[in-house]
């Protein structure tokens, strides 16, 4: 592959709702650019970007794939991002590395939640945007209805550039509004110019074209004062002015072009490649990147002659190749077999081989210039790390959604625990939206963004690292405590020839606010010698690990040693430890024991229209709503509540269903509260049966 400078590079993230045709569009672009010798299909598992076995099996993208192609002295880096909500982290990685976000919208189903999420993420990141309406030649598609929806949802920045000519519910040609020319495509995707449509060809087409051209011209006029003056004078723009206006408008975020295509029959794919070249900003056109050195903010210009700096935006754990780090070169030239510094860790970073990818096909390169995307293997850097040649500074990190769905992980084969931990550690390094930890109950817990996310992680663990696991609901970390003060006796006396065992204590137990045991002694007259006090405390501490109701750890107990007796020969530390445990068990039974459940604070970001439904659902989950506040994001509300952890297992999927994927939440443990009496028997039964 040739050496490309920033002005001849286009970095494009393809995002959108699941099923809107992202991977199929990427496949069509790759094929048309000549980087693939056949047009793969998602349904057959033959696409360039969906090459992972799990993606082929599920017929859906599960991670961002990089496909770099050459076209007309241009290098186009396509980042095919997944549309499933469970893999939103990958979409954010792709958008961070891209300069333009190409958002696919199905001509059949129109604007969906994934469309809005991709648009908002691109807008937040300050990226140029383009809508591509796919599947326009489907009998059930309606391009102009979808275009109206786009304008309604996203406002006047939406600007049609290529539109279909429809007759009898079939696309017969496509009009390029920049060129004001019409084109047809045969079954093999070959293009030929044809006459502009008239009312005889397609009903209302002349009327539509006049309106589209007027809206198109007005959008271009908004980008420049001179163009605005020319627009008001009624003069037509030249093709060069239209291209420059659209290019500048995209770069400023005030124009979002709309292009239609048929990625199956290859209709308009050639024109889309042309618009990529003409309209989309190159890395050199984009504003300088912001980095931080100590507390100072610095601007990093995309210039190959500047000192080298790069950002690691994605990591893949490949069991054969090793760790693969996807890198966006921000300035300078990143060279193979060269040592740099990892500004995030302060460690030296030796770059070995560099590659450019087209799906799973790897092409070794000697270097990558500013603005380009490449892959380094077996380096120490992790996702979000900054690599520098000279002075150290760090780029802003990608903000990933926090894990909100948990499952307990159990090895199917005994002795695989260490292999599971090692494998999951690699997966967590690859996917920052996964989290692996040990719960208070001792279970290994894998947390992600949803049920499918966890299932895919388990499948990858088996296919990549050869470890098979079972997934089960996470056990709730209940606690036991007492509700009243009691005084009990504990006596251990045993004679079996020779020295016997004798320990005798009187202990008062009472509730307290401490999480751990509070031990005091108020023994008078040496009834229990001081050297046995630690043994008494140790016996009580051991018993705190398991309560009398359901075997849960005990909390909130204060024990005061008040009296007892000893034998000068038979008393020992073990005897007093046993006596203390006898007193504890009896004291727990008499002190009105109960079960405590963990309570957490919930912060849910939801659309305004869904607040009533979500609050109703929280009430069913025994939640206490603390307040509602407008969110920074328009049309959204933050609901704050306290909810028992017991009720949160299914909340992730329920919230997604209520809000159609627009809602999100964070949940953090805050304290323990007494379990309602009507649930105590059920919890005891469940915990005791699980022990068996």
Q: What is the pLDDT of residue 263?
A: 73
Residues shown for the chain: 692
> What's the average model confidence in pLDDT over 472-497?
90
CATH number, position 419? 3.30.70.870
Beta strands in 454-513 (DSSP E): 469-472, 479-482, 486-494, 501-511
pLDDT digits (tens, 9 = 90+) for 545-559: 999 998 899 999 999
**Cα–Cα dist 544/552, whole Å:** 9
150 and 65 inside one domain: yes
Which of 222, 253, 278 terminates a domain? The answer is 278
Do 505 and 551 lie in a common domain?
yes
Q: Are residues 121 and 168 in the same domain?
A: yes
Q: Which position has the token pair 């460690």?
A: 347
Q: Give per-residue pLDDT as tens, 386-405.
A: 999 877 889 999 999 999 99
Mark which of 367, 395, 423 sits at the end of a domain. 395
Point out the domain boundary residue: 441, 472, 503: 472
Instruction: Please tell me whether residues 447 and 420 are part of one structural domain.
Output: yes
- Averaged pLDDT for residues 593-597: 94
71-100 pLDDT, tens per residue? 999 999 999 999 999 999 999 999 999 999
**Residue 280 above 90 pLDDT?**
yes
What's the confidence (pLDDT) of residue 622?
94
Which strand ranges, in their side-by-side order, compose the sheet holding 501-511?
486-494, 501-511, 557-565, 518-521
> 579 with 611, same domain?
no
Distance in angstroms (rounded) separating the CA atoms of residues 572 and 589: 26
Given CA atoms 403, 89, 83, 119 in this order, what sign does their dihedral have?
Answer: positive
Q: How far is CA 683 from CA 59, 252, 545, 586, 679, in A?
A: 41, 58, 18, 22, 6
Domain count, the chain: 5
Kindly state whether residue 360 falls inside one of the protein's structural domains. Answer: yes
Q: Which domain CATH number covers 324? A: 2.40.30.10
Based on the fold, state whether residues 98 and 220 are members of the same structural domain: yes
Q: Note whether residue 283 is domain-resident.
A: no
Same structural domain, 101 and 245? yes
For position 668, which CATH number holds? 3.30.70.240
CA–CA separation, 490 vs 507, rounded Å?
8
User: What contacts 580, CB < 8 A, 6 or more positions away?
Assistant: 490, 503, 505, 507, 535, 536, 537, 538, 539, 540, 543
| pLDDT at residue 359, as a whole number | 92
User: pLDDT tens for residues 129-171?
Assistant: 999 999 998 888 999 899 999 999 998 889 999 999 888 888 8
Q: The CATH number of the domain where 60 resides is what?
A: 3.40.50.300
Please report where in the chains the tokens 């990141």 appear, as a residue.
125
Give the domain extent around 409.
Answer: 405-472
Confirm whether 613 is domain-assigned. yes
C-alpha 128/C-alpha 286 separation (Å) is 9
E strand intervals along 107-230? 128-134, 158-167, 170-176, 181-185, 191-194
Asked whether residue 582 falls in the same domain as residue 610, the answer is no
Query: Got the DSSP string for 363-429?
Result: EEESEEETT-EEEEES-S--TT-EEESSS--EEPPP-PPPP-EEEEEEESSTT-HHHHHHHHHHHHH
Q: Express each pLDDT in 440-449 by its tens digit.
A: 888 899 999 9
Task: Please check the confidence at residue 498 and state whether its pLDDT lies above 70.
Answer: no
Q: Do 677 and 652 belong to one domain?
A: yes
In a domain, 525, yes or no: yes
DSSP character at residue 246: H
Taking the whole predicted model, whether its pTM rises above 0.75 is answered as: yes
Residue 284 lies in a domain: no
Closest Cα partner for 539 from 597, 585, 601? Answer: 585
Assess whether 302 and 243 both reside in one domain: no
Q: What is the mean pLDDT of residues 583-597?
A: 94
Asked if residues 407 and 445 have their Cβ atoms less than 8 Å apart, the reply is: yes
Strand partners, 328: 311, 373
Other CB atoms within 10 A of residue 415 CB: 7
Residue showing tokens 């979002």: 256
Q: Are residues 382 and 425 in the same domain?
A: no
Does a structural domain hold residue 637?
yes
Average per-residue pLDDT for the chain = 91
Report residue 306 as tokens.
Answer: 């500047």
| 139 and 214 both lie in a single domain | yes
CA dist 129 and 114 (Å) reads: 15
Q: Is the residue at 332 inside a domain?
A: yes
Is residue 1 in some structural domain? no
Q: pLDDT value at position 392?
A: 84
Strands (E), 81-188: 100-106, 128-134, 158-167, 170-176, 181-185
Q: Can you give the pLDDT at residue 527?
A: 85
C-alpha pair distances (Å), 293 with each of 313, 396, 407: 19, 11, 40
Query: What mean pLDDT do residues 185-192 have?
Result: 85
pLDDT at 523: 86
Mean pLDDT of 190-215: 76
> Does pLDDT of 271 surpass 90?
yes
Q: What are phi and psi of 121, to 5 degrees?
A: -65, -40
pLDDT at residue 457 in the model: 93
């Amino acid at each position: 592959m040739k050496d490309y400078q920033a002005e001849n590079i286009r970095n494009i993230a393809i995002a959108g709702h699941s099923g809107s045709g992202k991977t199929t569009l990427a496949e069509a672009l790759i094929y048309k650019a000549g980087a693939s010798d056949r047009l793969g299909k998602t349904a057959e598992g033959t696409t360039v970007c969906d090459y992972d076995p799990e993606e082929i099996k599920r017929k859906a993208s599960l991670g961002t794939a990089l496909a770099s192609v050459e076209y007309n002295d241009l290098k186009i880096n396509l980042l095919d991002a997944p549309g499933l909500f469970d893999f939103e982290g990958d979409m954010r990685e792709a958008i961070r590395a891209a300069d333009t976000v190409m958002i696919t919208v199905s001509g059949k189903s129109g604007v969906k939640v994934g469309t809005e999420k991709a648009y908002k993420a691109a807008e937040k990141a300050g990226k140029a945007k383009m809508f591509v309406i796919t599947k326009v030649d489907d009998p059930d598609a309606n391009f102009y209805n979808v275009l109206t929806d786009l304008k309604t949802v996203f406002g006047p920045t939406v600007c049609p550039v290529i539109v279909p000519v429809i007759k009898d519910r079939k696309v017969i040609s496509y009009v390029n509004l920049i060129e004001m020319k019409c084109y047809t495509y045969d079954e093999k995707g070959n293009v030929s110019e044809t006459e502009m449509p008239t009312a005889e060809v397609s009903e209302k087409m002349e009327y539509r074209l006049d309106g589209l051209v007027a809206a198109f011209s007005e959008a271009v006029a908004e980008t420049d004062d001179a163009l605005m003056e020319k627009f008001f004078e009624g003069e037509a723009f030249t093709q060069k002015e239209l291209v420059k206006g659209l290019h500048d408008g995209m770069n400023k975020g005030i124009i979002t072009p709309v292009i239609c295509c048929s990625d199956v029959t290859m209709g308009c794919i050639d024109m889309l490649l042309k618009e990529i070249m003409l309209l989309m900003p190159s890395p050199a056109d984009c504003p300088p990147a912001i980095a931080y050195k100590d507390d100072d903010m610095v601007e990093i210009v995309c210039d190959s002659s500047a000192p080298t700096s790069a950002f690691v935006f994605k990591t893949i754990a490949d069991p054969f190749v090793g760790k693969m780090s996807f890198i966006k070169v921000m300035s300078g030239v990143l060279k193979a077999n060269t040592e740099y510094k990892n500004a995030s860790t302060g460690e030296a970073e030796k770059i070995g081989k560099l590659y450019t990818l087209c799906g799973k096909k790897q092409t070794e390169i000697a270097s990558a210039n500013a603005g380009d995307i490449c892959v380094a293997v077996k380096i120490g850097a992790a996702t979000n790390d900054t690599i520098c040649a000279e002075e150290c500074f760090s780029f802003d990190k990608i903000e990933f959604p926090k894990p909100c769905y948990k499952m307990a992980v159990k090895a199917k084969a005994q002795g695989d625990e260490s292999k599971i931990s090692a494998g999951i550690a690699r997966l967590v390094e690859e996917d920052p939206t996964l989290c692996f930890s040990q719960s208070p109950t001792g279970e290994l817990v894998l947390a992600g963004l949803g049920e499918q996310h966890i299932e895919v992680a388990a499948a990858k663990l088996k296919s990549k690292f050869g470890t098979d696991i079972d997934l089960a609901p996470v056990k709730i970390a209940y606690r036991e405590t007492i509700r009243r003060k009691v005084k009990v006796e504990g006596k251990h006396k045993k004679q079996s020839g020779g020295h016997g065992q004798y320990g005798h204590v009187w202990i008062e137990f009472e509730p307290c606010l401490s999480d751990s045991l509070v031990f005091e002694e108020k023994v008078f007259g040496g009834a229990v010698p001081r050297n046995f006090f630690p043994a008494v405390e140790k016996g009580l501490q051991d018993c705190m690990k398991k309560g009398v109701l359901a075997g849960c750890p005990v909390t909130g107990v204060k024990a005061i040693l008040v009296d007892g007796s000893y034998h000068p020969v038979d008393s020992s530390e073990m005897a007093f430890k046993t006596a203390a445990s006898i007193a504890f068990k009896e004291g727990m039974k008499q002190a009105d024991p109960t079960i405590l459940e963990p309570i957490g604070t919930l912060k849910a970001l939801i659309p305004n229209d869904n607040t009533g439904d979500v609050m109703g659902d929280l009430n069913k989950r025994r939640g206490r709503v603390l307040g509602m506040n407008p969110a920074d994001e328009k049309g959204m509300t933050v609901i704050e509540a306290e909810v028992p952890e017991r009720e949160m297992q299914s909340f992730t999927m329920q919230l997604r269903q209520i809000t159609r994927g627009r809602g999100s939440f964070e949940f953090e443990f805050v304290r323990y509260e007494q379990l309602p009496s009507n649930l105590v028997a059920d919890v005891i039964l469940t915990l005791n049966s699980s022990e068996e």
